[in-house]
Amino acid sequence: MSGVKSINRIKCIGLVPLLVLLCGCNASEEPGFPYDANTGKSAFRFEFNDMNNTAPSFAASLCIPDGDSPSDNEIEAGPESYGSAAFFDLKNKKTVYSRNAYTAFYPASLTKIMTALVAMENCDMDKILTADSSCVMTDNDVQKISLKEGDTMTLDQALHILLIYSANDVANLIAVNVGGSVEGFTTLMNAEAERLGATNTHFINPHGLHDENHVTTAYDMYLIFNEAIKYGKFIEIIGQAEYSTVYKSALGEPVEFSCKSTDRYLNGRVSAPTQVNVIGGKTGTTQAAGANLVLLTKDSSGNPYISIVMRAKNAEVLYQKMNSMLDLTG
């Protein structure tokens, strides 16, 4: 692979004199806008002289937030009760609501959306996954199914448990079998984030357990989730209220597992506005990250929307804020 890059680099270098002659470029001329590696904006959004211009070749099919929305849609708990929120109309490529969409927060188990995406891109659903020592988690406060070394299941089973039950040991199971190791899989995750333009995202692990360098933004989560829903299997899984399966132990014995969705819309604990049809989503909660949710919905006409709330103080605030945005569908 490095050889290909070297050849391409040589070709590019060889083109430079020709381009200079043809274009009359001054090699010492400064670019028309400054580059800032620490910018808070997505790679899809640039500003020139206070005018917003979107690069159509990259973002023609995407929603682009342009600052925060007016505060007249704020919930009773107040804007200090959550970190960021965004609501995107996929049909009309429109940002319906946005607050702190480019601000980085801890994603917790929203991370598993990217884990599922990378797995779906690289493996068949019937691939057999085998647990190694990195899949064994013993902490009592970690969401897990208590995998043991040698346990096996298909990728299809693993994705269901990952997205519906949010099992952290299953996230590692997927990582080591798809990426060769947790670290190798994380490299694939970050490469995919870069490809999608999620430039304010950095993953350290495939599950989202806390690390201060493991961050993303509401807008980047939109980009990642928007890519994941291109897979029918992903939409099918995130819409399931419960799941039951049987996987195998290292001795080949059957291990039964059943779970219910962590999404309160799906498990019946919260109701969406009457004009909204909840398709499914992914939750994420840790003490450091707060309560988080990415949701796919449709309005009464069948038009799709993606909504995100990050770092809510608790689940009540999370779903109150989510419903306040869903109400904007009219």
Q: How far apart are CA 37 and CA 26, in angstroms?
A: 24
Contacts with 182 (C-beta within 8 Å, 6 or more apart), sequence order: 134, 172, 175, 176, 205, 206
- Is residue 62 in a domain? no
Q: How far apart are CA 287 and CA 209, in angstroms?
A: 10
- Is residue 229 in a domain? yes
The range of the structural domain enclosing residue 140 comes to 108-329
Contacts with 229 (C-beta within 8 Å, 6 or more apart), sequence order: 235, 296, 306
Full-prediction pTM beyond 0.85? no
CATH of the domain at 287: 3.40.710.10
* pLDDT value for 59: 66
Phi/psi for 204 (5° steps) reads -110, -25
Question: And the tokens for 272?
Answer: 């969406």
Q: Please give the positions annotated as active site.
A: 109, 112, 166
Q: Can you tell me whether residue 161 is helix, strand or coil?
A: helix
CB 104 within 8 A of CB 217: yes
Q: Based on the structure, what is the number of domains in the chain?
A: 1
pLDDT by 10s per residue, the chain, length 330: 444 444 444 444 444 444 434 444 444 343 333 433 344 444 444 333 344 444 444 567 899 998 899 877 799 999 999 999 999 999 999 999 999 999 999 999 999 999 999 999 999 999 999 999 999 999 999 999 999 999 999 999 999 999 999 999 999 999 999 999 999 999 999 999 999 999 999 999 999 999 999 999 999 999 999 999 999 999 999 999 999 999 999 999 999 999 999 999 999 999 999 999 999 999 999 999 999 999 999 999 999 999 999 999 999 999 999 999 999 996
Question: And the tokens for 57?
Answer: 């070749």
- Is residue 130 in a domain? yes
* pLDDT value for 52: 47
CB 90 within 8 A of CB 305: yes
- Is residue 37 in a domain? no
β-partners of residue 277 are: 298
Q: Can you tell me whether residue 40 is helix, strand or coil?
A: coil
Q: Which of 22, 1, 15, 196 is nearest to 113 (CA)?
A: 196
- Is residue 258 in a domain? yes
Report the C-alpha dihedral over residues 40, 207, 126, 153, rounded to 10 degrees. 180
- Is residue 77 in a domain? no
* pLDDT value for 61: 86
- Amino acid found at 185: F
CB 67 within 8 A of CB 98: yes
Contacts with 287 (C-beta within 8 Å, 6 or more apart), sequence order: 210
* pLDDT value for 67: 87
Q: How far apart are CA 112 and CA 110, in angstroms?
A: 5
- Is residue 60 in a domain? no
Q: How far apart are CA 166 and CA 263, in angstroms?
A: 10
Q: Can you tell me whether residue 256 is helix, strand or coil?
A: strand
CB 40 within 8 A of CB 103: yes
